[in-house]
Each structure stands twice: as structure tokens, then as C-alpha cells.
Structure 1
Amino acid sequence: MTPPAASMQTSPRATAASLTVGIVALLIAGLQPLVLGGLLREARLTEAEIGLTAMVELLTLGLTCGVAAARLKPEHIRLRLILAALAHAGVTLAGVGATGLWIIADRAAAGVFEGLMLWGTINMIVRAHNPERVAGVFATTQTLGQLVAASGLALFIVPQFGVNGALIALTGLSVLAALVAGVGPSRYDRLPSSSGGKGPINAAAVAGLVSIFLFMAFIVATWVYLEPLAARSGLTPQAAGLTISIALGAQVAGGAAATALGGRWRSLPVLLGVVVIYAAVLLVLASRPSPLVFMTAMAVFGFLWMFALPIQTQRMIEIDPTRRAALQVGAAQLLGSAFGPLCAALLVQDTGSAQALILGGAFLGLSASLLLVSARKI
């Protein structure tokens, strides 16, 4: 159980401000296909550079968030977030008109400032009285934000102003995040471990974090091959696009369900149940199902994706009540999100998208194994 000393109450305004900054930080995760695809159409990136750009930004985001969680004291948060958001606006604006390696370097720098912005949000979540529910709210609103931003950019901005218009719009959102950060918290109480031991987190927590890393590697390694997998099942490009929209809508529902149910059940059986259902989804996708069954399977895929993320935060707090490990959940999720597609790209190449399902199954199995190891060590 979580000790009361590990949690704190924040005002609704401070909570909303922290969530908003985190939503802006993670917008790019849902906008990469739109932005990078636009750069490809404008001949500013090659196909190979698209994958490298996406991976580098997620890596710097995850690494920065993890290092900040481990090294930065929860002080001067308001000032740090304002500066990070303004710096993010600056590097995003610097991408206007850029090409090739400059874009790759620019998005890598953007990932650094996104990681700092997300660090502020995670600090608030792990200190909340009911962190699993606050994490569920964040997962839901984050997905909704990505949907709204992607739709708005695709319908109104990119057709008229090209990808530079999208970058300028994102610059404006980062400036807005800086303004919102100005009404957020300036500091948080230190976690219990901050005044006590400063050694490494325990072995069970390490196993839990690696399990989360591998879970997200499974998720994203499978997700990025949705369109070729859909083609194997006879879906048209239009039907594949509809499947993506359905899966994104299911993600919102999954985050909402996690918010409503958070804290009512022990996390371990819930996460093991998620693994079992995901294994069934992989088997369905591998069987070349009918278009309707494929769409249904991907709806389940999307629902469980956002449902599981807040439960993972709850799991890490159950393993390590000091909440130091919970501070690293975001980094584990983001680094796994970058690692999965990288491995998939190396494996799939000319062997066919079905190999992504095999790789995803391996990641999922390893994740479940480490989840069980973390339980045995508590």
C-alpha cells in the first residue's frame, strides 16, 4: 500500500496546468505521421530519414525525462517549465524551411525540451493522492489532444500552408504551454526517498520498469505496421485509415475506463489479463482475418493500449511505495516506443510485415515474464 507521506494534494488549477504542459509535450507522438509525411512530400526528408527523425525525437524525449526525474529536485518547476516550453517553441520554429540533417537535429533538440515538460507532469501525477486516476485522465486527454490537433492541422492548416504551417501552429501551442505553466506549481514536496536513502531502486522495480519498456516496444512495433497488416487482410487504404481512426477512438475509451476504475483492483492481475488478451489479438491478426474482424481486433488493441498505461503507474507504486520508480514510468514507456519500431525495421525489411507480429509477440512474452518476476520479489 502507498504511504500517505508519498502523496500530496494539488489545486485543480495546478493539476490542470501540469496536465496541459504534458499534453503539449506529447502532441508530436500523435502528429509524427502528419508532420513527417508532409516533409517527405515536400522532399525535405527521405523515407529513411523519416524513421531516423521519429526515433531520435522519442529517444531524446525519453532519456531527458528519465534523467530529469532522477537528478532534478522538484523545485523551481514553474520557471523550468516556462523556459522549456519557450525553448521548445524556438526549436520548432527553427524547423520551418529546414531539410535533411538539420530537421533531424532540430527534432532531437525538441525531444529534450519535451522531456523536461513531461517531467513536470509526471512529478504531479506520482505525488497525487490517486495517481492511477490522474494518469488515466492524462492518457485520455493526451489522446484527445492528439486527435484534435491532427484533425485541425490536416483539414485546415497543412492543405493551405504546408508542413511549415503545422510547425508554426505547434510553435504557438508551445508558447501557450509556457503561459499555462506560469499558473502551475513552483515546487513539490520531496518524495520520502529524497531525504532517506539515495541508492538505486530495488530489483523488483527494475524488473517492472523493463517490463513496461518491453510492453511499449510490443505496442509500437505492431502499431507502425498497421497499414501493411491491414493490406494482408484485404483492407483497402481507405479502410485502413478508418481502422486507425477507430483504434484512436478506442484509445480514448481505454483511458477513460482506466480513469474510472483506477485503484479499485490490484494492478498485477489486471496487467496480466491485458497480456492474455493482447496475445489473442496477435493470433487474430496473424490469421489474416476478414476486414471486419481486423478492425475489431485493432479496436481492442487501441483500447487496451491506453487502459494499461495508467495501471502501469499504479503497479510501480505498489512495487516501490517511495514512488521513485514511478517517476521513471514515462521514460520507460517512451524509450520502449522508440526501441520497438527500430527493431521491427531491422527485422522486417523484405521479409514481410507479418514478422512484426512475431517480434511483437516476443516483446509481449518477455514483458509478461518480467511482470511476474517483479511480483515474486515484492
Structure 2
Amino acid sequence: MSTQPQTLTAEQPLSASPLALLAAIVLFAAITPTLLMTAPAVAAQLASQWQLGPARIGDLFSTELGAMSLATLPAFWWLKRVDWRRAALLAGTLFIVANLLSIWAQDYGVLLALRFCSALAGGSLMIICLSSAASTANPSRTYGLWVMGQLAVGALGLGILPRLFEHYGLAACYLLLALLMSLCLPLARCFPPGAPLSDSSAAQAPAAPRGKALCGILGILGFYISLSGVWTFIGSIGAKAGISAQASGEWLAVATVMGIVGAGCTSLIGNRLPRRLLLLLGYALLAGSVLLLLGAPTLARFAVAALAFKFTWTFLLPLILACLADLDRSGKLMNASNLVIGGGLAIGPALAGRLIEHSGGFQPLLIGGAGLALLSLALILGCRRPS
């Protein structure tokens, strides 16, 4: 029999307080995807400073997203064998080194390799954050703060980075990421040493049936395919309806703020209301916001749809992740969700683009997006453990 549970129990007195663990989860998870959250500003700087074309810029961001998702594969091995605190320290150090070296990169191939290493380290940290959040007393609240931290850092980055780029160039972004990670690195000791279940608690909370786990994974995949497909082309939908780029851009910027509000609402509600009720209300509002874009929406209808869409996106995500955490608190399922989220973000726009080209309009995309959201609801409800 493995001695890991005894090791964890012996180290438990050294574990940090719940508040320190929450700070580690939120801060690490906010810093690691910063480059992806500020992609518009970074992409513009890459084009002006490095003279890169759209294809090369796209490849660079695809590499970042792909590496963060691919971090899932080695994690299936080390999650059970390596102390999560040491893994976080190692991943954080690699993240810092890769970003510092990115400052002096002069060749596109070198920059691509360094960004892959940085994102791989960031993806490993994200897995530790997701798995640690599953062990907290109120996972839905923790995941709400997890999402809110990422959105807040992304919004701040989009406001600050363009000004820094004017004076210091792209190096400012990489240096800022390295400095932020250096400040947060001491919090690595606040993570649990590993999966929190001991032998006795594991007996009381048996592993979920594979069918339920599969339903949960497919549910989050459908959720992200639907969201990313619609969100990618929401500006084009507004343009076709005769809404100016400036007006739609302003409302989409406000929608980002609504995303922070949505995640904050989930954190405030926590376990006070039945999760099933919140899922039903959230998914109904999500599907409704997508269908509001049908036809040629007026500016008012477009604005309501965009605000509701972004609000429900971040309102639902913590609830979905909490459902997965209920199925398996060892970290394996949360690790798999990291890969599925990246896959959904990549698949959604590709499918949506082809659907628009073949149909010649946005109606099939919107109806399909709403239908896929409702299918995701059915899968998530189907994966839940009995109360």
C-alpha cells in the first residue's frame, strides 16, 4: 500500500491557513495566463516592434495556449508522485527564467521556444491551482475568485501595457511577468503537499463512476466550444447588423467588466443557494443571450446580449468546476479539465468559422451555440453526485 496518505497526514500541520491557500490559488492563477488575457495589446506590439505578420503572431499565441494545455499530460504522472509545493516552486522558477530570457530574444524561433517553456510552466501552476481549489471547503467560491483574479489582471494589463510598450517595448511585459511571479513565489509553500484525501476519507468518498466523470469532461468541453465560437465572431455579428465598430467595441469592453461581476456573484453566493438552481438559471440566461443575437440586432439588443453572455460565462464556470471537484478531489479530473478547456477554446472558433462559411450567415452558429450550451447543461447535471 502506498505510504503517501501517511506522509500527507504527517505534513498536515505544516500546511498553510485556508486564507493563505486561497491567496496562492488566486494569485498564481491570475499571473500565469496574463499574456493570453492581454493578447490584443501584445499582438499589436509584436506587429510593430518585431514586424511579425498575422500568421506568425497567431502561431505564437497558439503555442502559448497549446503548451498550457499540454502541461496536463505530464501532470497525470507527477500529481500523484511529487509534492505539489515543490512542483509549484519549480514551475514558478521556470516561468521567471523563461520570461527573463524572452527580454533578450532576438530570433523568432528562440522567442517561440521560450514562450512554450513559459506557458508549460504556467500550465503546470494552473493545474496545481485547480487541484488545490478542489480540496477547499467551498470550491464554487474558490473557483469564482480564481476566475475573477484572471479577469481583473487581464483588464489591468490591457490598460497598463500599451503605455509601458511606448517607453520600454515588449520587454516590459516579460519583465513584469517575471517580477510578479517572483513576488508570489513564496506562496508556493501554501499549497497542499498533494491530494488531500486520506485512506479513511477516501473510503467515505469513493471515486466517481467513469460515466459521470466523462459527462463532466464533455460538459465543460461543450461549454467552451459554444462560448469561444460565439464570442470570437460577436463583433462580426454586430458589424453585419449595421452597428459601428466603435459602438460594439465599447459594449464589449463593458462586457469584460460584467465578466468580473459574474465571477464575483458566484463567489458571494457560494453554497447559500442550491447549485442545481444556479446552473439552470445561468445556462438559461446564457442560451437566451446567444439567441438575442439572431437576425439583425439593434444596438440595445446587442448590448444586452453581450453583457448577459459575458456575465453568465464567468458565473457558470466556477459552478461547473465545483461539480467536477465533487467527483474527484485527487486532482486528476481537474488536471483533465485544463486540457479540455484549452481544446474547447481552440475547437470553437475553428468550427464556428467553417459553419459561417458554409451557411453564409450567423444563424446556424447562434442556434448551434445555444443548443450546445443546453447539451452542456444536461451533461453537467448528469455528472453530479446525488445530494
Q: Specify if TM > 0.5.
A: yes
2:54 corresponds to which letter in structure 1?
E
Aligned to 2:9: none
Aligned residue number for residue 316 of structure 2: 308
Q: Which residue of 2 aligns with 1:95?
A: 102
For structure 2, the residue ranges without an aligned partner over 5 or more in a row are 1-11
* Residues 1:83 and 2:90 are matched in the alignment: yes
Corresponding residue for residue 36 of structure 1 = 43
User: What CA distance in whole angstroms lies between the structure 2 residues aligned with 1:127 and 1:376?
Assistant: 16
Shift of 1:72: 1.6
- Amino acid of the residue matched to residue 371 of structure 1? I
> 1:3-82 counterparts in 2 under 5 A?
10-65=17-72, 67-68=74-75, 71-73=78-80, 75-82=82-89
- 2: CA distance, partners of 1:109 / 1:366: 36
Which TM-score applies when normalising by structure 2?
0.83
* Of 159, 164, 168, the match for 2:171: 164
Quote how far apart the aligned CAs of 1:248 are: 0.8
* TM-score (norm. length: structure 1): 0.84
Asked if 2 retains the 8 angstrom alpha-carbon contact of 1:61 and 1:114, the reply is yes
Letter in 1 for 2:152: L
Equivalent in the alignment of 1:176: 183
8 Å Cα contact 1:25/1:114 also seen in 2: yes
Aligned AA for 1:190?
A: P
The superposition leaves residues 161-204 of structure 1 with CA deviations (integer Å, 9 ceiling, x where unpaired) of 333322332232233332443x5336145335897799996211
Q: Is the 8 A contact 2:220 2:376 kept in 1?
A: yes
Q: Which residue of 1 aligns with 2:376?
A: 367
Q: Does 1:270 align with 2:273?
A: no
Return the match for 1:191 from 184, 187, 197: 197
- Which deviates more, 264-273 or 349-358? 349-358
Q: For 1:135-175, what per-residue CA distance to the aligned partner results, in whole angstroms no more than 9, with x for missing partners?
A: 11221122112111221112x21222333322332232233
Q: Following the alignment from structure 1 to structure 2, what is the Cα–Cα distance between the partners of residues 359 and 58?
A: 25
Aligned equivalents of 1:350, 1:15: Cα separation in 2 = 46
Residue 334 of structure 1 corresponds to which residue in structure 2?
Answer: 342
Q: 1:68 to 1:202 in 2, by over 3 A?
A: same
Q: CA RMSD in A?
A: 3.4
Q: Distance in 2 between matches of 1:175 and 1:71?
A: 23
Distance in 1 of aligned mates of 2:114 and 2:353: 23
Offset at residue 298 of structure 1 (A): 0.6
- CA separation of 1:38 and 1:195: change in aligned 2, threshold 3 A: same
Which residue type is aligned with residue 210 of structure 2? N
Distance 1:362 1:103, change over 3 A: farther
56-65 or 197-206: bigger deviation: 197-206
Provide the residue aligned with 1:208 in structure 2. 216
Change (3 A) 1:47 1:315: same
Q: Is the 8 A contact 1:93 1:167 kept in 2?
A: yes
Task: Supply the distance in 2 between the matched residues of 1:173 and 1:353 (Cα, whole angstroms).
Answer: 44
User: Which stretch shifts more, 143-152 or 331-340?
Assistant: 331-340
More off after superposition, 239-248 vs 351-360:
351-360
In the alignment, the residues of structure 2 paired with residue 321 and residue 42 of structure 1 have an alpha-carbon distance, to the nearest angstrom, of 45
Residue 287 of structure 1: aligned partner: 295
Quote the Cα distance in structure 2 between the aligned partners of 1:115 and 1:209. Answer: 18
- Counterpart secondary structure, 1:129: coil
- Whole-Å Cα distance in 2 between the matches of residues 370 and 220 of structure 1? 18
Residue 149 (structure 1) aligns with: 157
Q: 1:166 and 1:189, CA in 2 relative to 1: closer, same or farther beyond 3 A?
A: closer
Counterpart CA distance in 1 for 2:148 and 2:386 is: 32
Structure 1 residue runs without a partner (length 5+): 1-6
SS at match of 2:170: helix
> Which residue number in structure 1 is paired with residue 366 of structure 2?
357
Would you say the 8 A contact 1:191–1:323 is kept in 2? no
2:324 aligned partner, one-letter code: M
1:247 counterpart = 2:255: yes
Task: State the 1:302 CA deviation.
Answer: 1.0
Of 226, 244, 264, the residue aligned with 1:236 is 244
Structure 1's 353 and 254: CA in aligned 2 closer, same or farther, altered over 3 A?
farther
The answer for the alignment partner of 2:7 in structure 1 is: none
Larger radius of gyration: 2
Tell me which residue corresponds to 1:3: none
